[in-house]
Chains A and B, each alone.
Chain A
Amino acid sequence: MVGLLLQAQDWDYYTPLKASGEVPAEFTDIYATKYQRGVETISEEDSRKNQKRKDDFYKKSEYFVDEYLVSGKVFYGDTVTRYCQSVLDHIIGDNQELREKVRVYTVKSSIVNATATANGIIFINLGLLAQLETEAQLAYILSHELVHYTENHVLSQYIEREQILNNEAAYRRTDDDEKMLALSTYSKSQELEADEKGYLQFFSSLPYNQKAPNEVLDILQYAYLPFDEVPFPKDFLETDYLVFPDDYFLDEIAPITAEADYDDAESTHPNLSKRKTALQSFLPENNNGLNYLVSETAFAYCRKLARFEIARLHLVERKYSLAIYHSFLLLRKYPGNRYLRLSIAKALQGLLVYSNDGNLYEVTEKEKNIEGESQQVHHFFNHLSKDELATLAVTYSYNLKQDYPDDPAIDRVYDKCLSELVWRNELELSDFKRKLPDTTFSDSTSAPAPDYRANSKVGKIQRRRKEKISNEKFYTLAFIPFMEDSVFVNSFEEKMARKPDQEGRSFSNRYEKRSKYDRNAALGINRAIGVSPQYLKLDQRDKDGIKFISTDERLQTYRSEMEAMARKVKLDMVMLDHKGTRAFDEQSFNDLALLNSWLSERIEHVNHEVLNSDFDYVEDIIERYNTPFLINSGNVSLRVEENTPGTILLMLILPYYAPFGIIDLCTADYESLNYFFVFDLRNGDALLADYNHYQSNDARDYIRSILYNHFLQVSSQPKN
């Protein structure tokens, strides 16, 4: 069993978790099909109002679940998913019907959470798995989620919510405060029911450790903290020559304040204290049991996978300080691990670029909001100057490079950090010391100078020299061990020689030029990868806002139009899309998931020239598809509410406006936005970032025209 579950993983060269096997139909089925399946479950015996409500529910829930499934965060058939499924199979036992309906998928998210959907999917976040201590705890969480499904909590909560908000049934005479209370109380009662029935109906029948339910609640209490609490040592990022001043570190970190009995008035979940109390009423006195039924090894392996993956997820989410602390925690157990050290180097690179751009606040949290040992890391980076951070990043990455001299990924990070230090921080080799300051004349003992030296020549010279040394910038000593290293010195000098014109390389300048509406590119690209397009049809007049069904229909059309326009300009575009016409296999699924992750990080960086954290993983994709160019596009169309009285008034005041007014009143008003990005996966450059805001609907001719313009710019050969 264990062998079957575990996939080979070289931890030094950790590769992101991958889906495995045939892609389940629910990832590739179109939304309309899923919605129809949901509708078919509605009983005709229900009242008409309830039938309508259930129809609305399936319309919405299937849409959002579908969006989640194709987001690139949800994985099937991977090691973690298969392990969780094995645990779930134990819980379900012989219940064949349930076995057929319920399935687990892993979610690449650092958030500590698990959810169940109305159609039987249980999503387990890696963030949750990373924090668990035993398989029994996982089993209890799955049992809890299973009850949400078997008791149809999602649907009943929706119906209850609608009744509350529409003053129906028992809520006829409730005011707003009572409604809010009713909403909150109802979802809390479901949580308590899932706790109880999860235990009584599923968990209790298994020989698992019966303390697990309580332990899970303990874990949830501290879920906002990293997976371990270990003091971050001052010397973790130091070297013999790069020693940080003591005042860069906190003497005391903020205490952990999480309590189980917090105010849950506005929460959907009851507080942990209430849940624990409720658990006590049915948990047995005898708490003996097994912590593992499937496999302890598999659990440890999956948790390790989750923790390694989270180091990457923190980088993708631009939580650099947390990525460093998380990697530090793992390095204690896996010392010298290349992947973890590279993650730290990547995080330092990210912090350095944002710091040099003057936007460090975007990627660091206010230390006062952080509790526990990780606060030290946040404090440290908030106090480091730009030059100090640049020196640290270069030092760290060069040390790593010395251990892995032929590693291209480490080379890239070192090169990037050095570029920042030389080009942005404008530090030169001469700004750094070649050897330690001469202390011959300084007093080597800690004993105070004798009185007779107070005003003597030697005393004065020694005092001045001491002052000079203490005023030196401490980071200028950092490169002393590298100064005799020709690789370091050559790379430094090469960077200085190739220092680009600041004006020309400024990203913000480039974007200003690009912001012209009629900008025109000629990229000369003849092959590209297209990733799932996005589409959204909104209606301001609707209660829900989103037109779910037409959004899905238009998405299919938009995808076809993209492919058609690419063909028209003779661009060979490989469209990676769950719902596309191209065969979508395991490889495509994993490639698309990675590209979606790359893309979401790249878009977050906006105009910061940070190396995308997955830059080393996308190289395989560049090779496989024989192109480094990535195309992403989407369209949002909003039907806006007509300002009828305003138009009529204007027609009365200005009679010559009447013809325009009549046309305006007779035609629907729209606000639409189309976007189209072309990125270079090799360096993250945005070669084209076009936004078309147009005040008209998303009719076929408009969409085709816009897409043709985009694709023409992609394929046009640049003029010499």
Chain B
Amino acid sequence: MRVYVAFLLVWGSSLASAQSVPGYLGKRLSISYEAAFFPTFYNTNNPGEETRTYEAIYEGSSTGVSVNYQNHLKFDYALSKRWSIGLDVGYLTSYARPEAHLLVFFETAQNWILQENIKVSAFNTILSFKRFSRHFAPLGVYWDYKVGLVSYSYDDFDYILRDREYTIPSEGGSSFLFGMGYGVNRVVADKVLLSFGIDLNYMLKGYNNHISLFHDLELSEFNPADGPSPANKEALLKATEGRVFSHYLVNFKVGVGLLL
């Protein structure tokens, strides 16, 4: 790891010292807030607050459409005319629907009463390198190459089975993420940075459990009667990974920031 960090530092400083970096009118640092979002058609992202039976939802309810949403705080610094380095700190909350992510035995499912969906949250720290192809960093069209770490967890999960209340306590995990983005930065009044674009990210964990637009489900087996058993915890963690994976996979992004 130290080798990579040293390489990045040497590379960055060599780029910076090789030329006078214009930035945008001399401004090389930007801080911006970026919202990443994408519609979800199958795994509707909502808390599901109404008490309902698993079976009823599974068999009859429409999933509807909702929006997956993330918040990002980004720091970018123009290393050269074409490259900028950035730190992206992001946060998301979401809900994984048990009926979409978990495979429950038919007998058990008939008596399983859910009060809410599985609440999932994730936090990312991403190092990004943007290459500006048409103008000078940080302006214009760019390709973003990213590597980072995502920490995710689910909240305590409560449900009732045959009049008995169960709670599966919160658990979490982490995964590396690689990504690539395409976007456009524009500058208003020489100070305000507006950005929009699209991101594609691949989290190393979660692919087998994610629900995308075009893939069939791969469900984790969950037995509500076992309560917080290791197998159930693992199933919920997999559902969480899948949910977070889906969040990061494809996103539109819109941002606003300041040039410093």
Contacts of B135 in A (CB 8 A): 694, 696, 702, 705-706
Chain B hits for A696, CB < 8 A: 134-135, 140-141
- Chain A residues with Cβ below 8 Å from B186 are 699, 701
- Give the interface SS of chain A, mostly helix, strand, loop or mixed: helix
CA distance A660 to B250 in the complex (A): 12
- What's the minimum C-beta distance from A672 to chain B, rounded to whole angstroms? 9
Tell me the number of A-to-B contacts counted with CB atoms below 8 Å.
63
Q: What does the 1/0 interface line of B78-105 toward A look like (CB < 8 Å)? A: 0011100000000000000000000000
Interface assignment of B214: CB less than 8 Å from any CB of chain A: yes
Q: Which residues of B contact A709 (CB under 8 A)?
A: 22, 81, 136
Please measure, in the bound complex, the distance between the C-alpha atom of A604 and the C-alpha atom of B250, giving whole angstroms.
Answer: 51
Question: Within 8 Å CB of A705, what residues of B?
Answer: 22, 24-25, 135-136, 139-140, 187
For residue A497, CB closer than 8 A to chain B, the reply is no
A358 interface hit (Cβ, 8 Å)? no
Query: B216-260 CB contact bits vs A (8 Å, 1 = yes)?
Result: 000000000000000000000000000000000010100000000
Q: Give the secondary structure class of B's interface.
A: loop
CA distance A716 to B26 in the complex (A): 12
| A518 and B81 form a contact (CB under 8 A) | yes
Min CB distance B252 to A, Å, is: 7
Please measure, in the bound complex, the distance between the C-alpha atom of A701 and the C-alpha atom of B27, giving whole angstroms.
13
Docked Cα-Cα span, A696 to B185, in Å, equals: 12
Which of B80, B188, B198 is close to A701, meaning CB atoms less than 8 Å apart? B188
- Whether the pair B139, A702 counts as a contact (CB closer than 8 A) is yes
List chain A residues, Cβ under 8 A from B20.
520, 522, 712-713, 716
Shortest CB–CB separation between residue B253 and chain A, in angstroms? Answer: 11
Report Cα–Cα, A188/B250, bound state, in Å. 66
Determine the residue in chain B with the shortest Cβ distance to A564.
B25
Interface-centre pick from B182, B187, B214 (highest chain A CB count, 10 A):
B187
Contact between B190 and A518 (Cβ–Cβ < 8 Å)? no
B136 touches A695 (CB 8 A): no
Bound-state CA distance A713–B20 (Å) is: 8
B18 near A: Cβ within 8 Å? yes
> Is B25 in contact with A659, judged by CB distance below 8 angstroms?
no
> Which chain A residue shows the least CB distance to B141?
A696
Instruction: Choose from B19, B26, B198 the contact partner of A708 (Cβ within 8 Å).
Output: B26
CB distance from B177 to the nearest CB of A (A): 18
B residues in contact with A518, CB < 8 Å: 19, 80-82
CB <8 Å contact, B26 and A663: no
Q: Is B22 in contact with A694, judged by CB distance below 8 angstroms?
A: no
Enumerate chain A residues within 8 angstroms of B141, measured Cβ to Cβ.
Answer: 695-696
A520 lies within 8 A of B140 (CB)? no
A510-522 interface mask toward B, CB cutoff 8 Å, 1 = contact, 0 = none? 0000000010101
B117-158 Cβ-contact flags toward A at 8 Å (1 or 0): 000000000000000001110011100000000000000000
B214 touches A695 (CB 8 A): no
Encode contact with A along B56-85: 1 for CB under 8 Å, 0 otherwise: 000000000000000000000000111000
**Which of B82, B134, B214 contacts A655 (CB under 8 A)?**
B214
**A525 to nearest B CB, angstroms?**
14
Which residue from chain A places its CB closest to the CB of B138 in the assembled complex?
A705
Report Cα–Cα, A423/B135, bound state, in Å.
Answer: 41
Q: Are the CB atoms of A568 and B140 closer together than 8 Å?
A: no
A residues sitting closer than 8 Å to B (CB atoms) are 518, 520, 522, 565, 568, 655-656, 659-660, 663, 694-696, 699, 701-702, 704-706, 708-709, 712-713, 716
**Chain B interface (Cβ < 8 Å from any Cβ of A):** 18-20, 22, 24-26, 80-82, 134-136, 139-141, 182, 186-188, 190, 198, 214, 250, 252
